[in-house]
Amino acid sequence: MSSLPAPAARADALGPVSFRAYVGLGGNLGEAHETLEAALTALQAVAGAQIEAVSSAYRSRPVDADGPDYINAVAAVRSSLGPLELLHALQTIEECHGRERPYRHAPRTLDLDLLLYDTARRHSTELTLPHPRWAERAFVLEPLAEVAQALGDVLTALPDQTERARLASLQGIEKSPRALHFK
């Protein structure tokens, strides 16, 4: 485990133009904490992407699905990659961790979602930005609010604390006592 490089070093490594993206991480099969940590390490190694901050881990019940509880988190990523390039990098990381898509909402070893990419709005068969259900899922909202606040990022579309608490109660989410670490 190592600390992130200083912000100036990250910006220099990315080149003159970069954007902040928020990536949702989740898994509910196997050793989910370890898988999320390995995914963060892999994401940190992607050329053109540097992790700026990672939320706490959260445990949540599956939404619209069956299976064991999920471990979820959100990472803020500074990226010089375009949205589709970053999505493809995330999908490659998922595949390396045994992600299968047998049916919609199937339990999974790893799920990486591109939630937000700067202020981009996009709707295609391959990618929708912002993520279509990000504002309805407590397992996204709580870690997203945490990491955005840590970076001083004001996400105006983020539901207020009262609404987030209501969703967290309904959807059964709680902060995990176990922190996420990566190299």
- Total residues belonging to the chain: 183
**Candidates 61, 69, 101, 111; catalytic one:** 111
Contact yes or no for 42/23 (Cβ under 8 A): no
111 is catalytic: yes
* Choice among 59, 78, 113, 164 that is catalytic: 113
Known catalytic residue at 64: no
Q: Which one from 59, 78, 99, 164 is the annotated catalytic residue?
A: 99
Note if 12 is an active site residue: no
Out of 108, 121, 137, 166, the active site residue is: 108
Active site residue ranges? 99, 108, 111, 113
